[in-house]
Amino acid sequence: MLQIGICDDEPLLLNEIKKITEDCLQQQQTFSVLSTYTDGKSLLYDIQDGRHFDLLLLDIEMPGLSGMELAKRIHELLPDALMLFVTAHYKYAVDAYELHIFRYIPKNQLKERLPHALKDAVSLLEIQNTDSYIISTQNRFERIPYKEILYIEKDGKNAVFHTLAADRPAKNRPVDNTGQTRSVRKTLTEVFHELQSGEFYFIERGYIVNLRHVTGISHTDCILTDQTHLPVSQSRLPELKKQLNKYWQNKI
């Protein structure tokens, strides 16, 4: 079930966006929960309080907390959430480049453009939700969605999956004291071949990272969204930069 948030300070426009969204999702037979907000602060408070959203439709020009600032904060808290801007001005597109906005919808073309954007967004979310790594043993069967995997680490004869849910100290390797990491008795090479996804890259013989969660490279460290720093081998550094640049370009 998709969690969708809609934020616009104009009640009439907010209701129109909600009605179009409901009709579109009903036609696609997509189960969802829609939540509406008339100001960005209320939406942000809910997210900070643990509310999750898969898709957000945001107005850009709002009093108090603007849509641009709101989108920036949301991207920090929910990096995998898709965001659509509903706007009368495309001048913000350049400023929002780094926020990975999924689509811009002109306010005067809501009925024509919004259903198509919603259809594409739902299709993408369905793909993201089905791409998973399956751990299957005699006593265990578990699915780990790709989007939740931060990185995979070699630990003796095991491959350890570190996920978004795990609680780890910044700039240090996580300590498995939460029970939220996942281990499988396989080599990293075996796991890498089983993933079969361009989102993952071997940065060093002991680590595979999910490019989705890489925010940058500092010297020979790969920096993830949770501020974990992982070492990158000198031989793999140029190719990592190339793959990361390609991934970012395809996602923006």
What are 102-112's pLDDT values in tens digits? 888 988 899 99
CA dist 40 and 159 (Å) reads 41
Confidence of residue 169 (pLDDT cuts 50, 70, 90): very low
Q: Identify whether the C-beta of residue 24 lies closer than 8 Å to the C-beta of residue 119.
A: yes
CA dist 51 and 172 (Å) reads 27
CA dist 199 and 93 (Å) reads 25
Its sign, for the CA torsion 244, 214, 162, 219, is: positive
Residue 167 in this model has a pLDDT that exceeds 50: no
> What residues does 216 pair with on adjacent strands?
223
- Nearest residue to 149 (alpha-carbon basis) of 131, 123, 137: 131
Report pLDDT for 166: 41
The residue ranking higher by pLDDT, 171 or 57, is: 57
Residue 178 in this model has a pLDDT that exceeds 70: no
Structure token pair of residue 199: 């989102």
Helix (H) / strand (E) containing 57: strand 55-59
Indicate where the chain has its CATH 2.40.50.1020 domain(s).
Answer: 137-251
Task: Find the range with the poorest average confidence among 16-30, 156-170, 172-186.
Answer: 172-186
pTM strictly above 0.85 = no
192-216: per-residue pLDDT in tens?
999 988 899 999 999 999 998 998 9
Fold of 137-251: OB fold (Dihydrolipoamide Acetyltransferase, E2P) (2.40.50)
- Which amino acid, one-letter code, is at 120? D
| Average pLDDT score over the chain | 85
Q: Which CATH number is associated with domain 2-130?
A: 3.40.50.2300
Indicate where the chain has its CATH 3.40.50.2300 domain(s).
Answer: 2-130
Residue 99 in this model has a pLDDT that exceeds 60: yes
